[in-house]
Amino acid sequence: MPISRRQFAVLGGGVAAGLATGGLGAGPAAAAAPPEGHGKPSEDHGKPPHTVTFDRHSLLVDGRRTPVWSGEFHPFRLPAPRLWRDVLQKLRAAGLNTVSVYVAWNYHSPAPGRHDFTGVRDLGAVLDTAAETGLFVTVRPGPYINAEVDGGGFPGWLIATPGRARSDDPGYLAHVDAWLTAVNAVVAPRQYTRGGGTVLLYQLENEYSSHLTDGIGAAYLAHLYAKVRADGIDVPLFHNDKGHPGDWTPGSFPTGGEEGRYLYAFDAYPDPAKTPPDYGWYGPGGPHGGSTASPGTPGFIGEFGGGWFDCWGGAEFDGRGYPGARASRDAAYERRSALTNLANGITLQNIYMTFGGTSWGWLPAPIVYTSYDYGAAVDEARNLTAKVPALRQFGELLTAVPDLARLDRAADTAADDPAVKVYHLANPETGAQFYVVRNDDDSDRRFTLPVTTAAGPLTVPAAERIRLHGRDAKLLATDLPLGTRRLRYTTAQPMIQETVARQDLAVLVARPGDPVELGIVCPEPPTVTVLAGAATSAHDPAAGLLRINATVRGLTRIRLTGGGSATPLLLLLADDEATATLWRHPTDTGTVLVRGPALLRTARLHGDAARLTGDTTEECELEVWAPGAVERLRWNGREIPATLTPSGSLLAHGRLPGPAPVRLPELTGWRRRAENPEAAPDFDDSDWPPADLRTSASSTPVPAGQPVLFSDDYGFHYGDVWYRAAFSGPTGGTLALAYQTGTQGLLMAWLDGTPLGTHRMPVPARNQASKASWTATATLPLPDTGEGDHRLAVLVRPMAHAEDGGSNDSHKAARGLLSAALTPAGGAPAPELTWRLRGGDPTADEERGPLNSGGLYGEREGWHLPDHDGDDWEPVSLPYTETRQGVAWYRTTFRLDLDRGLDASLGLTLTDDPGRAYRAQLFVNGWNMGQYINDVGPQHTFVLPEGVLHHRGRNTLALAVLTDGTGPAGPGTVALTLLGLAAGGTT
Ligand code: IPT
């Protein structure tokens, strides 16, 4: 399907006509995004396929320069398919043209040879929805992904197989091939090149360490390359180099002579407290004569930190949790990062994360807790944060100013304040000049800047000096088309350029209170009308220039007529708050610009009506600029009377309503049931596998004289594991239990039903969560219960497998008990312990998948499931005080009856005295939605996505609570909380 006209409607005659595309084809220079609705088979039947290629400057889609402005989203972190469209629409509304998705192998594969792409694992639905939303997709199926998930995405069963992972070991590669065959069968038909979707790029492996210099690494990547191509993936492939040492560039491993179809990318997570790093000039002609790493490919950042993860205890953000992450990587950080990257010749950037989501069930790697909010632009509860306008301003800039996809470094220039760093760039084909100005100081700066223009050198501005806040950045430009006119220079950053209803329309942005100046080429003096806000203008007949000065606050509106053009021009100068409710949306028959609502999701034109859908979070105006034929507005299906304004827009009479308030039920009617019958001496464990292995696939050595006790070797990969040992002889003395769990693991033991104590791994310090192996030996005193037959019972809570970032099989470190030694009192000989063990069955829950099920008795018996009959459980009220060591469950049910047409984002908040030592696994309608550790934190609120939660109907909540018996503990206050509310939504 040819790129439709609407994609390029933004370009304006001047830019498009003035640009050559380096011999790559005539026509417009940049593709903003795929057309909405792309990939519906009916639309594409028989249409010619697209091409996706690149040169050293940028990606080329159908020969057209296409900057990639991408956001990372993990569908596996949102187990509610109905909300995928919501998040994808929000990413698109955030100005992104691409979404990057990891595909987590462990999420899809409960057992060797089984690959499940149904329900919450429906990757095809994710890709189809992205195409319908108008987003390109980068697919990243590993096989290794890291991503702060269990084993870095390797399935539990794979962890228990021999053969070095992330190498050319044939056993490992056989499993990898089976995975890739399965995932590629979903991806291949949805490639943009096939016309069945919008998959644009595909990543091989992830941050693959280069220390495998003995040829293994090259052989491994060559295998992946060949396999992926053989599966029909024909879009460009790339790898994301950790840091930017220049590893895995084209030609560094065999690609069957296809170096030209493989891109170099690197990952960047700069310290937000420091000056943004220059990664070197990735465009041509720079100090290195092109990228040092890969001169033939465009500058590409596969992951750029748009936030960061927090660890148990919250040391990363001083206990503030993800609001702390969002404060450290705020809107100004996003601006200075995106613009610095642009100034370094980077034309493909992916922000990791743009929606972080939830590491539910046993997904979280030991280094993170349940929330993976990440401080991203769209928060875990799916709210747009104050970072969104920054992303959107940049994305719209790339669309409005296609010259930015082909930049050279230009002659150095300096502001008259040395704290301001200036990057001067130019498009050699259009002559447009760009100045990324960045303030690396903490205080505000005011400066002037000598710039180059087609009319000779100038120092801008002529009037009030440019203001740049501390640690912020903006882009100034000279010689850009402005609809039918030309912009000689601007100190406000361009955002939108459209011609709507025979009126040129331009949006330029700045921080609230910033003075800005525009020089517009006008041979004749135009008529200037300030429709809203304050602005002054002066015409210089000698220079043929109209100078406009304004202080940006809210939305300043300036209308120009005459002055050398027959087309009127509406200039909108917007601050960030005004940008947050100003939405551009292409349609089949022209672009619309909408002001007022908190979100615009879709826009379609039908005859004389503009049909809009979106969200309001409070009462607001609705103003629409639409092609001339449009006289009527519909908002979320409702006709809205509107009148034409002097701005050339339609303004709705009255205001759109905000959402009606929501009342949430209190959680009462709790019932309790204690468990851990496994601790009792007479518990029947005869159907548990005996721990009879002598060798292990683990990287942890099997302790001498011990059977293998590692849970993975017996098929138990996720959640709690029980061990029981029978022995005869005297007791007393001590029991030493060595175990390994990852941070925040714990162990509890019983002898003949009597608690022996609990041992816990310490809370990690900052940056330490992934450093230690988290192995400990619990030495527990044994009561003297006399001679005879005895039963030991041990419960281990492992906290998922380590990641394998260093390609050294660190994910294969054993989980569970490592060894056990009983030293009876009085020097009696140590009895032999024969163990059986039992954990969760990764194949038990086909709907919720392998990572939902742990090995607690209640889980094995289905106490967490909605259809479990808990009516005979003991009625209790919360807070409840447990004094025993072990596991107890609390259940309640509640009904919700939320209006359709409301998007309410709900959470569960647990609060209590932090001195009470307990943890709870939270099950909502059977879904394992996270782990709460009362005396560690920092997470108290757990997001419950609609779909998991029934917004109109009955819900079951079950808490599986572990208490250590050392003091009063047990669940405190548990409440539903409202985390976001909008009228609209996708449902
Ligand atoms: C980079 C990984 O590629 C990604 O999967 C994720 O783990 C991210 O980091 C951190 O959230 S690894 C890089 C930071 C060393």
Mean pLDDT of successive 10-residue segments in the chain (987 residues)?
30 24 30 64 57 96 97 98 98 98 98 98 98 98 98 96 94 98 98 97 91 81 98 97 86 92 94 84 47 83 97 95 97 98 95 98 96 98 98 98 96 96 97 97 97 97 97 98 97 97 96 98 97 98 97 98 95 98 95 98 96 98 95 97 96 97 97 98 97 96 96 98 92 93 95 96 79 84 88 97 92 97 89 95 97 98 95 96 97 97 97 96 98 97 98 98 94 98 89
Atom 8 (ligand 1): residue with closest C-alpha? 147
Task: Locate the ligand 1 atom nearest the alpha carbon of residue 302 and give its number.
Answer: 3
Q: What are phi and psi of 262, to 5 degrees?
A: -130, 135
Report d(CA 592, CA 590) in Å as an integer.
Answer: 7
Which pLDDT belongs to residue 674?
A: 97
Which pLDDT belongs to residue 276?
A: 84
C-alpha distances out from residue 104 to 125, 144, 179, 960, Å: 16, 8, 10, 27
Which pLDDT belongs to residue 215?
A: 87
Cis preceding-peptide flag for 461 (omega within 30 of 0): yes
Max Cα separation, the chain? 109
Q: Pick from 231, 209, 232, 233: which is nearest to 221 by CA?
A: 209
Active site residue 303: yes
The count of other CB atoms within 10 Å of the CB of residue 480 is 25
Which pLDDT belongs to residue 32?
A: 61
* Catalytic residue, candidates 72, 132, 148, 207: 207
pLDDT tens-digit map of 707-730: 999 999 999 999 999 999 999 987
Sorted by sequence, the CB contacts under 8 Å of residue 459 that are 6+ apart come out as 448, 449, 450, 451
Alpha carbon of 808 to ligand 1 centroid (Å): 16
Alpha carbon of 919 to ligand 1 centroid (Å): 28
H or E segment to which residue 123 belongs = helix 123-133
Report d(CA 947, CA 340) in Å as an integer.
Answer: 40
The answer to whether the beta carbons of residues 311 and 305 sit under 8 Å apart is no
Alpha carbon of 560 to ligand 1 centroid (Å): 49
Strands 927-933 and 458-460: unpaired
Q: For 200, left (φ over 0), alpha (ψ -120 to 50), or beta? A: alpha
Alpha carbon of 303 to ligand 1 centroid (Å): 8
E-assigned strands of 501-581? 503-509, 515-521, 527-532, 535-540, 545-551, 555-561, 569-574
Which pLDDT belongs to residue 210?
A: 61
Find where tokens 């120092």 sit. 459
Q: For 808, left (φ over 0), alpha (ψ -120 to 50), or beta? A: alpha
Angle between helix 216-230 and 170-187 (nearest 10): 30
Alpha carbon of 204 to ligand 1 centroid (Å): 15
What strands, in cross-sheet order, belong to the sheet with 64-66?
52-54, 59-61, 64-66
Task: Locate the ligand 1 atom nearest the alpha carbon of residue 805 and give its number.
Answer: 12
Which pLDDT belongs to residue 20?
A: 26
Q: What is the pTM of this model?
A: 0.95
Q: What share of the chain is helix, strand, coil (3-state, %, to 5)?
A: 15, 35, 50
Which pLDDT belongs to residue 74?
A: 98
Task: Locate the ligand 1 atom nearest the alpha carbon of residue 148 and give its number.
Answer: 7
Which pLDDT belongs to residue 47?
A: 53
H or E segment to which residue 721 belongs = strand 721-728
The count of other CB atoms within 10 Å of the CB of residue 273 is 8
Report d(CA 50, CA 208) in Å as an integer.
Answer: 30
The answer to whether the beta carbons of residues 566 and 589 sit under 8 Å apart is no
Query: Which 3-state string (H, E, C) describes 639-669?
Result: EECEEECCCCCEEECCCECCCCCCCCCCCCC
Q: Pick from 650, 651, 673, 656: which is nearest to 619 by CA?
A: 656
Report d(CA 410, CA 478) in Å as an integer.
Answer: 13
Q: Pick from 531, 537, 524: which is nearest to 554 by CA?
A: 531
Task: Locate the ligand 1 atom nearest the alpha carbon of residue 803 and give its number.
Answer: 7
H or E segment to which residue 773 belongs = none
Report d(CA 939, CA 103) in Å as an integer.
Answer: 26
Question: Is 728 exposed, middle or buried (CB count within 10 Å of its CB: 0-12, 13-18, 19+)?
Answer: exposed
pLDDT tens-digit map of 516-531: 999 999 999 999 999 9
Token pair for 321? 């949790």
Residue from 148, 244, 303, 317 whose mutation best tests the ligand 1 pocket (most atoms within 8 A of CB): 303
Atom 15 (ligand 1): residue with closest C-alpha? 242
Chain-centroid distance, C-alpha 832 = 50
Atom 5 (ligand 1): residue with closest C-alpha? 147
Report d(CA 47, CA 40) in Å as an integer.
Answer: 12
The answer to whether the beta carbons of residues 509 and 476 sit under 8 Å apart is no
Atom 4 (ligand 1): residue with closest C-alpha? 147
H or E segment to which residue 69 belongs = strand 68-73
Report d(CA 387, CA 518) in Å as an integer.
Answer: 26
Atom 6 (ligand 1): residue with closest C-alpha? 147
Binding-site residues, ligand 1, Cβ < 6 A: 145-148, 206-207, 242, 267, 269, 303, 309
Angle between helix 123-133 and 170-187 (nearest 10): 40
Task: Locate the ligand 1 atom nearest the alpha carbon of residue 269 and give its number.
Answer: 14
Alpha carbon of 888 to ligand 1 centroid (Å): 36
Question: Is 771 exposed, middle or buried (CB count within 10 Å of its CB: 0-12, 13-18, 19+)?
Answer: exposed
Rg (Cα) of the chain, in Å, rounded?
30
Report d(CA 386, CA 579) in Å as an integer.
Answer: 10
Token pair for 865? 């499931």
Question: CA-based angle 575:580:585, to the nearest 5?
Answer: 115
The answer to whether the beta carbons of residues 712 and 815 sit under 8 Å apart is yes
The count of other CB atoms within 10 Å of the CB of residue 190 is 22
Average pLDDT value over all residues in the chain: 92
Alpha carbon of 520 to ligand 1 centroid (Å): 45
Alpha carbon of 249 to ligand 1 centroid (Å): 19
170-174: long-range pairs with CB below 8 Å, 24+: 173/220, 173/223
Report d(CA 974, CA 940) in Å as an integer.
Answer: 10
Q: Pick from 744, 723, 682: which is nearest to 820 by CA?
A: 723
Residue from 74, 149, 352 whose mutation best tests the ligand 1 pocket (most atoms within 8 A of CB): 352
Q: For 935, left (φ over 0), alpha (ψ -120 to 50), or beta? A: alpha
Sorted by sequence, the CB contacts under 8 Å of residue 731 that are 6+ apart come out as 751, 782, 783, 784, 785, 786, 790, 824, 825
Token pair for 643? 């009148």
Question: Is 798 exposed, middle or buried (CB count within 10 Å of its CB: 0-12, 13-18, 19+)?
Answer: buried
Residue from 74, 138, 146, 267 whose mutation best tests the ligand 1 pocket (most atoms within 8 A of CB): 146
Task: Locate the ligand 1 atom nearest the alpha carbon of residue 146 and give its number.
Answer: 5
Alpha carbon of 400 to ligand 1 centroid (Å): 32
Q: What are phi and psi of 84, to 5 degrees?
A: -60, -40
Q: Pick from 644, 587, 640: which is nearest to 616 by CA?
A: 640
Token pair for 514? 């910033």
Question: CA-based angle 309:314:320, to the nearest 5?
Answer: 95
E-assigned strands of 396-460? 408-409, 420-426, 433-439, 445-447, 449-451, 458-460
Sorted by sequence, the CB contacts under 8 Å of residue 585 that are 6+ apart come out as 591, 592, 593, 594, 600, 602, 603
Angle between helix 123-133 and 84-93 (nearest 10): 40
**Alpha helices, DSSP H only, in 620-734?**
none
The answer to whether the beta carbons of residues 521 and 545 sit under 8 Å apart is yes
Cis preceding-peptide flag for 353 (omega within 30 of 0): yes
Alpha carbon of 309 to ligand 1 centroid (Å): 9
Alpha carbon of 305 to ligand 1 centroid (Å): 9
Find where tokens 């594409």 sit. 44
The answer to whether the beta carbons of residues 722 and 838 sit under 8 Å apart is yes
Report d(CA 344, CA 338) in Å as an integer.
Answer: 10
Atom 9 (ligand 1): residue with closest C-alpha? 147
Residue from 138, 267, 803 whose mutation best tests the ligand 1 pocket (most atoms within 8 A of CB): 267
Atom 7 (ligand 1): residue with closest C-alpha? 147
Number of H helices, E strands in the chain: 14, 54
Atom 14 (ligand 1): residue with closest C-alpha? 269
Alpha carbon of 443 to ligand 1 centroid (Å): 32
Token pair for 719? 């959640």
User: How many residues are given for the chain?
Assistant: 987
Q: Which amino acid is at 747?
A: L
Report d(CA 282, CA 264) in Å as an integer.
Answer: 11
pLDDT tens-digit map of 316-345: 999 999 999 999 999 999 999 999 999 999
Task: Look up residue 194 and give its DSSP letter.
Answer: G
Q: Pick from 837, 560, 576: which is nearest to 724 by CA?
A: 837
Residue from 204, 207, 354, 363 whose mutation best tests the ligand 1 pocket (most atoms within 8 A of CB): 207
* Catalytic residue, candidates 148, 205, 303, 396: 303
Residue from 269, 350, 355 whose mutation best tests the ligand 1 pocket (most atoms within 8 A of CB): 269
Report d(CA 711, CA 401) in Å as an integer.
Answer: 57
